Amino acid sequence: MSYLIEAVLNSEEKNNLREFISQLQESDQRYLLRNEILSSFDSFSTTKSEAQPYFSSNLGKLIYYTQEIILEKESICLIIRPKIAQQEAYRIFEDLNYEAMTVQQLLDTRDRFVNHFHPDEGDVFEIDFRPFYDYSPTIRDPKNIGRGVQFLNRYLSSKIFQDPNQWLEALYSFLSLHSYNGNTLLINGRIKDRKQLSDRIKQALNLVSGFPKSKPYEEFRFELQNFGFEPGWGNTAGRVRETLEILDELIDSPDYKVLEDFLSRIPMIFRIVLVSVHGWFAQEGVLGRPDTGGQVVYVLDQARSLEKQLQEDISLAGLDSLNIEPKVIILTRLIPNSDGTRCNERLEKVHGTDNGWILRVPLREFNPNMTQNWISRFEIWPYLETYAVDAEKELYQEFRGIPDLIIGNYSDGNLVSFLLARRLKVTQFTIAHALEKSKYLFSNLYWQDLEPNYHFSLQFTADLIAMNAANCIISSTYQEIAGRSDSVGQYESYDNFTMPDLYHVVNGIELFSPKFNIVPPGVNENVYFPYTRSEDRPPSKIEKLEELLFSTEDPSFIFGKLEDPGKRPLFSMARLDRIKNLTGLAECFANSPELQERCNLILVAGKIHGAETQDNEEREEIEKMYRIIEQHNLHGKMRWLGLRLPKSDSGEIYRVIADRRGVFVQPALFEAFGLTILEAMISGLPTFGTQFGGPLEIIQDGINGFYINPTNLEETASKILEFVSKCDQNPDYWHEISNQGIERVYSTYTWKIHTTKLLSLARIYGFWNYTSKEKREDLLRYIEALFYLIYKPRAKELLEQHWQR
């Protein structure tokens, strides 16, 4: 972007730049983000009577690409985003000379902004992961970020295929590796080396080619064994032949796509751990409580789908005779004072599974006042190291061995996954769900002010540890990794940042690493399905939920009585916290008399009484909701239900709203993905979703849903009103958007698609980790240094604070 600065300074536009900087200096604001920068420039252009598109001038372009401005006494610092996943920083002085800034200089500038200046260079600890990524391949084109497995497969295949002997030896060694409970899989000792493997494949192909495709594997099993082939190739002659043909092609004409097809069939994963430590993790009575919601639903649905896919894969591989039962364990914490939930039970079977379990391991009783009760996700950090040690023993007992794959969820679960995977030497996947650093503005700069409530020093350190240690990072969307051309991604925000007086992160994560893979979740199609499937909708449940939503009066959990229940319902369902922004939707509705005239607002949240919650943020949002209702006199125009719905009811509630041609609005200030958006869309509800986060990749604006800017209440109300007006003029328009939303989910966001891809990733990464013998020990030792030198001392401090409670 230096060329743009040069272009401005070498033209008459430099006077406009000087005046704009002068205008910024006159304001009290010293740190501006992109929206504020654009707004300030629009105001400046208006005063100059030169309002015009940004790209009509070099100065306009420069301002458009600027993400942050920091104003200092004698200079101005511009942080510019020239393209996705790239950042540049420049300092412009009073005389309009300028210089490029290093990352270290930028972080020092940010420190000065919050009065934490380090006068001596090197006076702050620097974290730099860049050298550890020099050993591994990196993606070049930003468009391919999140397609890591494709890149890795191509890159490593091209290297290993160049040496046929090395390639065959690696393949033979890998196939010789597999067994289950003492039963040899794939090949046995009759195939003694790589050359013999190739010969025997051709002999086996001659054998199975003479059988009918449907001939069961068990009827020719012993003939294959004589050639050296054990179970695992297929359940029928046709399936065995396909698998052997793929392998034969792979040996004779190696190709990365053929390799992927082959590895996707290999039975190598039977035991999976999903780690979700914090919160009230159970199947009933927990949704709507603090620290539960989308993540609990996600993990439960993922566990069911993984078991089902594993069962299907095992059967297709011809392993039924071995009586292999795949096992999926959700590892969470046991809460003795469980408040009527099942969170105090060690084992709970996952509904709808044969061998899926919730395994609850208690925290060690360092402080019974804390560990006997629910602990917020912001407070759980001191207990995780010993929790991982105890969990390892419990998992070994349940599996009678070690798992094949560990998948972490959220920051604390990912840290535990790292600790377990490090000890067990197992493939580790991480799923962030949400990175709090992106959700809480300036949370790293002002971490010391926020530390008493949020303990971000521990969380952000845990994030750095887990994301760099992981073999594979699963994200739901592209923007979660690298953002967009005009916004920074969640993982990208960890690339460089400062936590004043603690450390500088110079290179926190390599966005172009092939460990990043986009695998969006699905929806539970047994619970969430179109409102038109009347045969699957019990009339008694429909009637009960209609009464609950529109007429039941019970001040213990319902606030508001509708004057005209027949109006089109605007519906939203979420936790009452600041980020989910249900109060923002209420305010949007309150500020639009026309919306109030044509629609009712119906909100389903966890609570309606502040005294019922232990969560400070939820209590504040409850109080704010009441202020909005009273200030704008929304009585008779909205209903607010504070309840936790059984899962089957949460699916039907969308359909009841759809029966009345309602609208779903998701007004979050930021949403990492947006499961409720998928649930609403598959139910047939036209959906308005926040433009900040994952919904941008789910919704295609104006085709199967609509974007809203939840910070612009007037614009949001206007978009909803425009849709309602079109529906009033043409009722088919509601059905058109409804049907497009349903089709969007079924084509892209099912759990079948998710788990098929996830297991394929696990097999491919497992293969390359084994064959390439990746040297990760130096990286893991560096990560351990962060854990023991930064994380543990701060966790100990927090534990001491807990003793005072």
Beta carbons of 416 and 388 less than 8 angstroms apart: yes
Higher pLDDT, 737 or 60: 737
Residues 609, 623: Cα–Cα separation, whole Å = 9
CATH architecture of 2-101: Roll (3.10)
The CATH superfamily of 271-522+755-803 is: Glycogen Phosphorylase B; (3.40.50.2000)
- Weakest mean pLDDT among 276-290, 652-666, 729-743: 276-290
CA 487 to CA 451: how far, in whole Å? Answer: 26
What percentage of the chain reaches a pLDDT higher than 70? 98
Picking from 147-156, 274-283, 391-400, which range would have the lowest pLDDT averaged per residue? 147-156
DSSP state of 484: B
Q: What is the CA radius of gyration of the chain?
A: 29
- Cα angle 252, 253, 255 (rounded to 5 degrees) comes to 135
Residue with the bigger pLDDT between 566 and 134: it is 566
Report the pLDDT averaged over residues 733-744.
97
Mean pLDDT along residues 304-321: 96
Strands 497-499 and 503-507: antiparallel
Contact 689, 673 (CB under 8 A): no
Q: Quick check: 405 and 427 in contact, CB under 8 A? A: yes
With b for 16 or more beta-carbon neighbours within 10 A and e for fewer, the 240-271 pattern comes to bbbbbebbbebbeebebebbbbbbbbbbbbbb
Q: What is the pLDDT of residue 611?
A: 87
487 confidence band (pLDDT: 50, 70, 90): confident
> Cβ atoms within 10 A of the Cβ of 168, count?
18
Q: 643 pLDDT band (50/70/90 cuts)?
A: confident
* Residue 550 φ then ψ, to 5°: -115, -20
Mean pLDDT of the chain: 92
Number of H helices, E strands in the chain: 32, 25
Q: What is the pLDDT of residue 304?
A: 96
Judged against a pLDDT cut of 90, whether residue 497 lies above it is answered with: yes
Residue 139's pLDDT band, with cuts at 50, 70 and 90, is very high
Question: Which tens digit of pLDDT belongs to each residue from 158-212?
Answer: 888 888 888 888 899 999 989 998 899 999 999 999 889 999 999 999 999 999 9
Which CATH code fits 534-749? 3.40.50.2000
Task: Please report, for residues 230, 357, 471, 759, the alpha-carbon distance to residue 267 in angstroms, rounded to integers and kept in the order given.
Answer: 12, 22, 20, 10
Residue ranges of the domains in the chain? 2-101, 150-176+187-263, 271-522+755-803, 534-749
Does the pLDDT of residue 474 top 70, yes or no?
A: yes
Distance of CA 325 to the CA centre of its chain: 29
* Cα–Cα distance, 305 to 517 (Å, whole number): 19
pLDDT band at 121 (very low <50, low <70, confident <90, very high): low
Burial class of residue 352 in the structure, from the number of CB atoms within 10 Å of its CB (0-12 exposed, 13-18 middle, 19+ buried): middle
What end-to-end distance do the CA atoms of the chain give, in Å? 53
Identify the pLDDT of residue 1: 67
* Residue 376, CA distances (Å) to 276, 291, 380, 614, 780 in order: 13, 7, 6, 10, 28
Topology alike, domains 271-522+755-803 and 534-749: yes
For 314, 390, 393, the CA distances from 360, given in Å and listed in that order, are 28, 11, 12
Amino acid making up residue 623:
E
Where are the extended beta strands (E) located within 8-131? 31-33, 66-71, 75-80, 88-93, 98-100, 126-128
Residue 246 clears pLDDT 60, i.e. is over it = yes
Whether residue 10 is predicted with pLDDT greater than 60 in this model: the reply is: yes
Task: Answer yes or no: are the C-beta atoms of 308 and 283 closer than 8 Å.
Answer: no
Sheet arrangement for strand 66-71: 31-33, 66-71, 75-80, 88-93, 98-100
Tally the C-alpha atoms within 13 A of residue 438's C-alpha that lie toward its C-beta. 26
Residue 28: is its pLDDT beyond 90? Answer: no
Residue 648's H or E segment, with its range, is helix 647-659
**pLDDT classification of 135: cutoffs 50, 70, 90:** confident
Buried residues in 543-581 as b, exposed as e (16+ CB within 10 A) = eebbebbbeeeeeebbbbebeeeebbbbbbbbbbbbbbb
Helix%, strand%, coil% for the chain, nearest 5: 50, 15, 35
Both tokens assigned to 60: 């306009």
- Secondary structure (3-state) at 363: coil
CA 264 centroid distance within chain: 24
The pLDDT of 66-75, averaged and rounded, is: 93
Kind of pairing, strands 88-93 and 75-80? Answer: antiparallel
| DSSP for residue 364 | P
Residue 708, Cα to own-chain centre: how many angstroms? 21
Query: Which of 693, 216, 774, 790 minimizes the C-alpha distance to 462?
Result: 790
Distance CA 474, CA 521 (A): 10
**Residues 142 and 83 sit within 8 Å (Cβ to Cβ):** yes
Check residue 51 and give its pLDDT: 58
CATH number of the domain at 150-176+187-263, please?
A: 1.20.120.1230
Query: Is residue 348 classed as helix, strand or coil in its secondary structure?
Result: strand
Average pLDDT of span 735-759: 95
Query: Which secondary-structure segment (H or E) carries 408?
Result: strand 405-409
Please report the pLDDT score of residue 3 as a whole number.
Answer: 84
What are the backbone dihedrals phi and psi of residue 441, each rounded to the nearest 5 degrees, phi first? -60, 135
pLDDT for 371 equals 94
Longest dimension (CA), the chain: 87
For residue 662, what pLDDT band results from cuts at 50, 70 and 90?
Answer: very high
pLDDT per residue as tens digits for the range 611-633: 888 788 889 999 999 999 999 99
Can you give the pLDDT at residue 312? 97
**Rounded distance between C-alpha atoms, residue 327 and residue 147, angstroms:** 28
Residue partners of 676: CB distance under 8 A and separation at least 6: 294, 573, 574, 664, 666
- Reported as a single tens digit per residue, the pLDDT across 756-785 is 999 999 999 988 888 876 678 899 999 999
- Calculate mean pLDDT across residues 538-555: 93
